[in-house]
Amino acid sequence: MKKELLDGKTALITGANRGIGLAIATLFAAHGAKIIACVRKPGPDISESIAQLASVNVNRIRVLKLDLEDIDSIKEASSSLIAEGKKLDILVNNSGFATGSRYQLISRENLQRSLQVNYIGPLLLTQRLIKILCKDDASRSSSVVNVSSSAVNFPNVGMSAYSSSKAAMEQSSKVLAKELATSNIRINVLSPGPVETDMLLLMNNESRNNLIDSTWMRRPAKAQEIASVALFLASDLSSYITGQVIHVNGGLG
């Protein structure tokens, strides 16, 4: 019987109720991981997909309330896991917020929200979970996968706040990878190009089509294609990879 890549591991995934996050949660669970699926509003408002995933994998899926805009929510979620004595092997900082406002029109609220959700929140969450991510055995490592965006390198009109916040995440990830290497924590960045998710629909038709046409493959990725690379980075297949930005963009350029 083929061994599952994440057998015996526990993964916390933010923004797990739709899009890339849901695809990652589904694939990780299929490969044997126990999933802590973080959503802003647990209960009847969570997507049918994550609810179905939880019902099918009743012993592997746990839904946890986490709002990266709310510092208290970050503290409560992380403290509950630490208090339970949880050991965490994988952290996927996937949640994101994008606003389509042009620079001249962007509001202070949306600028602050972009920075909080895309950069500050994930940074603070990672900081608070370090103690349960650390591995004493040098032959084992934990993996942090930070989901960024090709918007860092290929900015589009109206995406100044989003691009800047993701750029901050990428740079911090490289610094943290160096700082935490001796704690056996690997940190890498997954940078998708256009993906068939709700976020792609935020762009106007012209910008969206131009972006897709700029890929060599002339199509957006499916969320499952991004999840497959996240699986590689989370598993021991990438045990000697840290501090890297992995571009999954269909040859965007």
Half-sphere exposure of residue 99: CA atoms within 13 angstroms, side-chain side: 21
Catalytic annotation, pick one of 103, 119, 162, 240: 162
Decide if 162 is catalytic. yes
> What tokens were used for 42?
């647990």
CA dihedral 43, 49, 52, 53 (to 10 degrees): -100
> What tokens were used for 128?
């608070």
Q: How far apart are the first and last CA of the chain?
A: 41
Q: How crowded is residue 127: how many other Cβ atoms within 10 Å of its Cβ? A: 12
Of 90, 80, 120, the C-alpha closest to 9 is 90
Tokens 């860092």 belong to 152
Collapsing DSSP states into helix, strand and coil, what is residue 174? helix
Helix (H) or strand (E) holding 22: helix 19-30
Question: Hey, which residues are catalytic here?
Answer: 162
